[in-house]
Structure 1
């Protein structure tokens, strides 16, 4: 099977990605106090939905929690899973384990307003391995991480990746679809930036990659953040810009039914 190597150059992200997806016009907001919802149902036990409020683009990334909300997820059979608030703004359910092919609806009620979103969990595509090599983009001794997997030919697939270096999440967004690589063996490079928010990778570092198989609406959300070069990975802070959301009425954030899997290596 033909192998495809995908090079992701963050500083030239618009040029490199626009060949795969139309350019999305992103309006950058400098206001504050808007609701942010970060929700996911995975194929692992235990689910989390986080509620917060955004801050101005010029402010520090401290996002006030939204407490006292009523949060639930309903599966396609009509079973409702209530989420309980633990830490401020963090709502969890330990009983729900998602499954590929199933559709889930999130319901959030806060401030006398109900917000809903639906997402269908794709089939899981196996993460074969992750490797490290000398980076051809960056300083001396810097390494890049490459994820290796086989994209199935029968479906349109979208992927999102989280990168952790020595236990700390890199804030770059790494997302890709199979529009031009359907059915191929994929080698996808994850390169960290040179700014203060990202971590360079060197020999001896402990690196973990989480691979998420996501639906198209959620891919569009992450792609738009990747396109503008923001540092907002899932599980981290949401950018104060307004990428396309699958939540109604529209707020910042997303709701994703996704498969997850991880691999860890020591960089050589």
Structure 2
């Protein structure tokens, strides 16, 4: 996984991203990993796995038999069903903007919890595609760069995540942004990814998610822990998590919108 940090490049501010990478764990001990998400108007899904020794193959065995419960701030509660090994889902409880959700996981005699408030949706109005000025040396075919068109709300503290794909192939990156720069105005920052090239005739799908600060912090700190931060990053450490009790991972309530654009 990787993260987006805001950087200056040739006088422009980009939504930047790093190549997708795996968790660089600051521990040789096995840990529970919880990845929980609830989307607006959709049911919740929680994946539970376990880390392996750093010398083992890079795999995360699924954890079955957990008791997983999600509650909202209106008093609604549901125990999730295990629909596949290590995958737990609600059947009734769905995400709603502005609601706060609490996740409780009991597994291997330990209890973990997390909380996330679903932000109000910021409308993705359109997607602008322009010819990039950063084509590799010697390349004659034009590259294109993506500009999400949205107006950031006046209130400071909005956080975003973007997923882009071309012709059905996802960009192997995680891209996040916040409004610490250009708060309350129309977005003017493009998405920049070194592993994603758009050509004329490609079909672009862009998903914009409104996420809470804890989710943003998780991916930002994951980026830092891999040495991709300013000045080479920091000493490797486990990423910041909103899950209490010692597990790795995150719990996120978020909104999502998609736009499909033909590059021409």
Residue in structure 2 matched with residue 122 of structure 1 by the alignment:
119
Gaps of 5+ in 1: 12-25, 232-239
Once residues 147 and 56 of structure 2 are traced to their aligned partners in structure 1, the CA distance between those partners, rounded to angstroms, is: 34
Q: Does residue 1:266 correspond to 2:256, yes or no?
A: no
TM-fit CA distance, 1:53: 2.0
- SS across alignment from 1:222: helix
Query: Contact (CA 8 Å) 1:98, 1:257: kept in 2 or not?
Result: yes
Once residues 96 and 218 of structure 1 are traced to their aligned partners in structure 2, the CA distance between those partners, rounded to angstroms, is: 21
Once residues 156 and 243 of structure 1 are traced to their aligned partners in structure 2, the CA distance between those partners, rounded to angstroms, is: 21
Residue by residue over 1:156-201, the C-alpha shift from the partner in whole angstroms, topping out at 9 and shown as x without a partner, is 211111222332332322111112211100133222224xxxx433
Count the aligned residue pairs.
238
Normalised TM-score (structure 2): 0.79
Query: Contact (CA 8 Å) 2:24, 2:226: kept in 1 or not?
Result: no
Residue by residue over 1:4-54, the C-alpha shift from the partner in whole angstroms, topping out at 9 and shown as x without a partner, is x7313447xxxxxxxxxxxxxx97536363211111112122221111123
Query: Residues 113 and 120 of structure 1: is their aligned pair in 2 closer, same or farther, counting only changes over 3 Å?
Result: same
Residue in structure 2 matched with residue 103 of structure 1 by the alignment:
100
Q: Please tell me whether Structure 1 or Structure 2 has the larger radius of gyration of its CA atoms.
A: 2
Residue in structure 2 matched with residue 7 of structure 1 by the alignment:
14
TM-fit CA distance, 1:257: 1.3
Q: Does residue 1:150 correspond to 2:151, yes or no?
A: yes
Structure 1 vs Structure 2 CA RMSD: 2.7
TM-fit CA distance, 1:264: 1.5
Residue in structure 1 matched with residue 166 of structure 2 by the alignment:
165
Residues 1-268 of structure 1: pairs in structure 2 closer than 5 A: 6-10=13-17, 28-29=25-26, 31=28, 33-55=30-52, 61-139=58-136, 140=139, 141-194=142-195, 199-227=196-224, 242-268=238-264
Once residues 88 and 227 of structure 2 are traced to their aligned partners in structure 1, the CA distance between those partners, rounded to angstroms, is: 26
Query: Residues 180 and 192 of structure 1: is their aligned pair in 2 closer, same or farther, counting only changes over 3 Å?
Result: closer
Gaps of 5+ in 2: 1-11, 229-235
The worse-fitting range, judged by mean Cα deviation, of 176-185 and 164-173 is 164-173
Query: Residues 56 and 167 of structure 1: is their aligned pair in 2 closer, same or farther, counting only changes over 3 Å?
Result: farther
Once residues 230 and 97 of structure 1 are traced to their aligned partners in structure 2, the CA distance between those partners, rounded to angstroms, is: 37
